[in-house]
Amino acid sequence: MRFALAVVYCKMGLTSRESEKLESQFKKAPDRWELVLDRNKHPDICPVKFCSTLAPKSYSSNKQDGFICSGCKMRLWRKNNPLQSAYASLKNTAAAAGNEFDLTFSQFKLWCLKVDYLTEKRKNPGRRVSIKRIDLNLGFEEGNLRLRVAAKRATGGRPGSG
């Protein structure tokens, strides 16, 4: 398996040091998220704490874990797979806006490595970290992406006070 990964990284044009950094950043997952369940809920309600979604009519309540709603499952998937989630979101947004999207997931992964996308997202929790196009006439393609960190949001208060 390790040999196969080395061949893939070599075909992408990465040095061994870059491929090691890529592996450590994307393959290792020390902080996997898990759902917190509340076992005292009614069996027809999603057992995830603070969720009140009702089970669909076709659901039979004899399963041991109970019904976990699709919203909670998706939230968990997004937390555990941040790159796949960002890629899917970017692709869906581009399709909704009518923009071309010629970026593969491996190209997106390499771009994220170059600009430290995950590090920027974790470093700036109060700011919106987004992916923008350099040339708006072109679509989302390799070489036409940039990382944008928005300014910190202003807190409430009257002008002149403080």
Q: Final residue of a domain: which of 22, 51, 80?
A: 80
Does residue 141 sit in the same domain as residue 87?
yes
Residue range 90-147, pLDDT digits in tens = 999 999 999 999 999 999 999 998 988 888 887 877 678 888 999 999 999 999 999 8
Polymer length of the chain: 162
Host domain of residue 56: 32-80
Residue range 55-95, pLDDT digits in tens = 766 655 555 556 788 888 898 888 888 899 999 999 999 99
Does residue 96 sit in the same domain as residue 53?
no
Q: Is residue 149 part of a domain?
A: yes
Give me 106's structure tokens. 């491996």
Q: How far is CA 100 from CA 110, 130, 134, 137, in A?
A: 20, 18, 14, 10
Number of structural domains (the chain) is: 2
b/e per residue 2-28 (b: at least 16 CB within 10 A): eeeeeeebeeeebeeeebeebeebeee
Does residue 105 sit in the same domain as residue 115?
yes
Does residue 75 sit in the same domain as residue 88?
no
Give me 48's structure tokens. 């995830």
